[in-house]
Structure 1
């Protein structure tokens, strides 16, 4: 299903931190796209963003979805609203972009994906790291056979600081709000679905996190359908900055992506060599990938090509995240088939 329009007019639901970033990129830096309407449950924020971009502010989410000047809906609201908004947008014939995760519950997610499938609207899930040029180069080196058969993959994902406790209470916890990106990245760079998850987790950063039923430190081992083994390590606090690294070792070689530094200068003296620190905030690292993500969405919607990161990619990482929580609770490896049974 292609939406034939010279400029894809996008309504942005939720213009908090991530939604505001998306709206500003779409309005100013993505050819072929423009923001037409915004909505936020906190009306002053919606009015402020709308005035800055020179667009309309809807009074309700339903009004934005139904607006004739909206061809596609970007869902950047809290996770609990995603499913109903996806269904409403799909039934209105609007293309859908949704931030991750779609839902914390598999049956609820499947309800939304069933409507997406029945209406045939384009759907893309917001796993922006797939569009990072360095990570994409690793995936390409595996896909084209450069590194041979993948044997081992390693993913490091460490945030500079933990999120507020209020966020942790409703986010689904580390495996569903943070590691979910890494589960998708594992599938992407290895080129194979996850068959088994074994997770060990602890509270090593902030004891208060245990009080909301979450963890802040984890090591996860994955077994892929093609036999590749992946390890993921997560921490909510890396004092040195935002740490994101991916490596795939194969029968013919290795491909890896590292962290960009704040700048490229180094200082060398008799006491050693120093360089700039890592970016401290995820937006500093991933703005180029967000732009590429939107460019891919606009191209898919305008040409009728299925988005590269679609319904299957919304579901599989959630399954892996739920399997990780089950693994921690039960102290054993968990087959992803157990979650979907």
Structure 2
């Protein structure tokens, strides 16, 4: 069996977590990390007792089985193409690029190569979302009439993150848009989105909103709503309700969901709410990276290609246009 040597670019919060996960996965012989901040990469390497590369070029030259990219968004296109040009399979956290044109350029470049690329939409690997997808595809729910998705963060990110985040639809809602497509197997045809700011001024200063509501029309006539907020002080609340003519499936409704019933006699959960996405989706991240090892070693195809990720990004783009124009936007208006 060939040696599995994985490189990881970017040792911030999620990168360091991924590096630790990689050290626990069966079959991984070695992990090497690099970062634009060389000292940060060295610190992560020392903590995990793994290898360290002084820069990204050295990392790419390290005879890698696969590369995991968790760097800042503006570096994703260059790193993806650099790895693919070297024949190195890639896992890249979303988004592929900061805008549609940049994303299209990467999608078109990757399409000319046989090197696999997997984009990180971890909800596809969560047990609850997988069960919901199975319930839809099996027909046990009947025909679907409504989906309700929420992504509600307990507290906003730092102020300096917002101007480079791409906005709430591209940064936050894109996960909901991807998972609605994946669970239902349907395409979005039209969106209407609106937003509001009642929190910190830095959201408005960046042209963003801290709370948003979206209505999606799907190509089978079903409707989906998506609720987004940076200020859900009760805790991290991520759910999906799939409502059918015969039954329903609800993801994220467990004892750690930050929901408080005021119905008399209804028992409150004794467990703390999820503090954030890293805790809520820990098992999904582990499964996602284990799957990438299979992709990198050629035993399965990419479960989320750049072309798939582009479709979710198109929906986010349509939402942004809808919010600014205060009107519904057809997906045909943003597709290129």
**TM-score, length basis structure 2:** 0.93
- Equivalent residue number for residue 66 of structure 1: 61
In structure 2, relative to structure 1, the CA distance for the partners of 1:196 and 1:262 (3 Å cut) is closer
Structure 2 residue ranges without an equivalent (≥5): 258-263
Counterparts of 2:58 and 2:52 in 1: how far apart (Å)? 10
Distance (whole Å) between structure 2 residues aligned to residue 141 and residue 92 of structure 1: 41
Inter-CA distance 333–92: structure 2 relative to 1 (3 Å threshold): same
Where in structure 1 are there 5+ consecutive unaligned residues?
Answer: 264-269
The residue number in structure 1 matching 2:109 is 115
How many positions carry a matched residue from both structures? 329
Helix, strand or coil at the partner of 1:165: coil
1:235 alignment partner, one of 225, 229, 250? 229
How many angstroms does 1:201 deviate by?
0.6
8 Å Cα contact 2:132-2:249 kept in structure 1: yes
Match of 2:260 in 1: none
**1:35 offset after TM fit, Å?**
4.4
C-alpha separation between the residues in 1 aligned to 2:265 and 2:216? Answer: 42
Does the alignment pair 1:306 with 2:305? no
- CA shift in 2, pair 1:204/1:46, >3 Å: same
Query: Using a 3 Å threshold, how does the CA distance of structure 1 residues 210 and 34 change in structure 2: closer, same or farther?
Result: farther
Worse overlay, 188-197 or 120-129: 188-197
Q: Which residue of 2 aligns with 1:326?
A: 321
CA distance in 2, matches of 1:34, 1:315: 33
TM-score by length of 1: 0.92
1:115, CA displacement in angstroms? 2.1
Which residue in the other structure is 2:173 paired with? 179
Q: Please tell me the root mean square deviation across aligned C-alpha atoms, in Å.
A: 1.8
**1:86-97, aligned counterparts within 5 Å?**
86-97=80-91
1:1-341 correspondence runs (5 A): 6-28=2-24, 30-68=25-63, 70-262=64-256, 273-275=267-269, 276-341=271-336
Question: Could you tell which deviates more after superposition, 88-97 or 288-297?
Answer: 288-297
Q: Cα distance, 1:25 vs. partner?
A: 0.3
Which string of whole-angstrom CA distances, capped at 9 and with x for unpartnered residues, describes residues 275-327 of structure 1? 22311121111100001111222223324421111122220111111111100
Moved more, 299-308 or 318-327: 299-308
- Contact 1:73 1:96 (8 Å CA) reproduced: yes
- Asked if 1 retains the 8 angstrom alpha-carbon contact of 2:190 and 2:329, the reply is yes
| Distance of 2:255 and 2:29 partners within structure 1 | 32
Structure 1 residue 145, shift from structure 2 partner: 1.4
Q: Which residue of 2 aligns with 1:266?
A: none
Distance 2:278 2:3 in 1: 26
Once the two structures are TM-superposed, the CA of residue 36 in structure 1 deviates from its matched residue by: 2.6
Give, in angstroms, the shift of residue 271 of structure 1. Answer: 7.8
Hey, what's the Cα distance between the residues in 2 that align with 1:120 and 1:334?
Answer: 35
CA distance, structure 2, for counterparts of residue 274 and residue 186 of structure 1: 30
* CA–CA separation in structure 2 for the residues paired with 1:76 and 1:41: 11
CA offsets 1:153-187 (integer angstroms, 9 cap, x no match): 11011000011110001110111111111111111
